[in-house]
Structure formats: structure tokens, C-alpha cells
Amino acid sequence: MSADLNEERRCLRCLCAGEDQWPWFMRLFERFIYGELSKYSIRPGPERDDLAQEVALKLVNHDFAVLRRHLESDSGYSFKAVLRTVIYSVVCNEWQRRKRYELPVDLAEHPAAGEIFRREWADNPARRLYREVRLTCLLQQVVGGAGKSKAFSILVLRFVEELPVNEIAAQLEMAPNAVSQQLRYYRKKLRAVLGPEVYDEQARG
């Protein structure tokens, strides 16, 4: 294991042991955290600082569960791989919470709902995050007040994560026919949200 990885692991162990080693942690990872945030068009300022703080809080949660899992895995990989996922989760949660469709993403204009259904539209990290958040909120409109229901999960897995019916059924412990029936039912509502021309092209399958 390299000297850099050894230092990372020593720092993480100290944090898990309750030692106040956040200055050490930030010395190791601050540039990486800010670099990842910049990919989502988060520029220097209070918003970036708040999100960096949220990343730290997520690492503290549940007695440093994220750090402990990384240390116990003994994978030999840098913690940056895990940290990248945490940063994505924090930014995505914040955008969903505040419905921040208008954060400074590099968009020529506000895209139509049908456009963001096309995965190829999301050609950079900021657009991928924008796409996931806006699609999720559109699907919440489709299911109405059932935003935490199994139907909502089916729609997210199908249209956001683009999983096939059989994989959705396996994840949700449902019969494939039951998943297909739910999709057929909600496609009528998708048509109302997206328009018939978008529905015909994007919502089939």
C-alpha cells in the first residue's frame, strides 16, 4: 500500500476513534471535494461551503459508518472513490430538497421534459445530476401523493436508472407482470405530463 493510502487510512482511523482530526482530513481531501463540487457547477462561496459541511456531516452519521465500512473493506483503494459517491448523494439530496433546477448548470435554455428523458442529453456530471433530480420530481407529479410508494420506485428504476422490467421486479420483490402492469397504468399519466409526441418516443418499452 502506498504512503498516501496509508496516511488516508490513519486519518480515517483517528476520526473513527473520536479524535478531532478534521484539519488533517481536509488537508488530504479538500481539493478533491471542491473539485468534485465544481463538476456540478458549484462555485466558490457560501453554497459550496455549506455543501462541503454537509459532506462532513454525512461522514459523521451513524458513528462514522461510511468511514468504517471503507476501513473494514481493506480494498486498497483511496477513500476518494467513496467520497465521490457521498458528494454526489449530498448534492442530489440538496437539489431535490430545494428543487434547484435553476442552479448554474451550463444550459442554453431550460430543457423540455422529454429532452431530459434521453440519457444522451446528460453529457456531463452537472447535467446528469440535473436530469436525475428533474426526472425524479416529474415522476413525483405523476404518482401524486404516493411519492414514497412502490409505484414511484418502479418509475424511478425504469426511467431514471433505466433498468429493464426483470431487474426492477427482482429489486422490489415483485412479479415481472405486476411491474409491467404498473408501468402501463402510469404511462397514461406520463403522456399527460410529457405530451403525446414525447410519450410515444420515450416512454415505451
Q: What pLDDT digit, counting tens, does each position of 110-148 carry?
A: 677 777 777 777 887 778 878 877 787 777 777 775 555
Residue 103 lies in a domain: no
Output the average pLDDT for the chain. Answer: 80
Q: What is the pLDDT of residue 195?
A: 67
Residues 121 and 51 in one domain: no
Residues 8 and 92 in one domain: yes
Question: Which residue did the predictor score with more confidence, 155 or 97?
Answer: 155
Measured between its terminal Cα atoms, the distance across the chain in Å is 47
Confidence band for 176, pLDDT divided at 50, 70 and 90: very high
**Closest to 51 in 3D by CA, of 103, 12, 14, 9:** 103
Q: How many structural domains comprise the chain?
A: 2
Cβ-contact 5, 76 below 8 angstroms: yes
Per the structure, the complete domain to which residue 181 belongs is given by 115-202
Q: At 99, phi and psi to the nearest 5? A: 50, 50
Residues 121 and 160 in one domain: yes
Question: What is the model's pTM?
Answer: 0.58
Question: Which residue did the predictor score with more confidence, 20 or 149?
Answer: 20
Residue 130 lies in a domain: yes
Instruction: CATH number of the domain at 135, please.
Output: 1.10.10
Using one digit for the tens of pLDDT, what is the confidence trace for 84-98? 888 888 887 777 676
Q: What is the mean pLDDT of residues 143-172?
A: 81
Confidence band for 12, pLDDT divided at 50, 70 and 90: very high
Cβ-contact 198, 113 below 8 angstroms: yes
Q: What is the pLDDT of residue 42?
A: 80
Residues 86 and 136 in one domain: no
Cβ-contact 143, 151 below 8 angstroms: yes
Q: Has residue 45 got a pLDDT over 70?
A: yes
What does the DSSP 8-state code read for residue 121?
Answer: G
Q: What is the pLDDT of residue 203?
A: 46
Q: Has residue 47 got a pLDDT over 50?
A: yes
Look at the block and give the residue holding cell 480494498. 75
Residues 92 and 141 in one domain: no
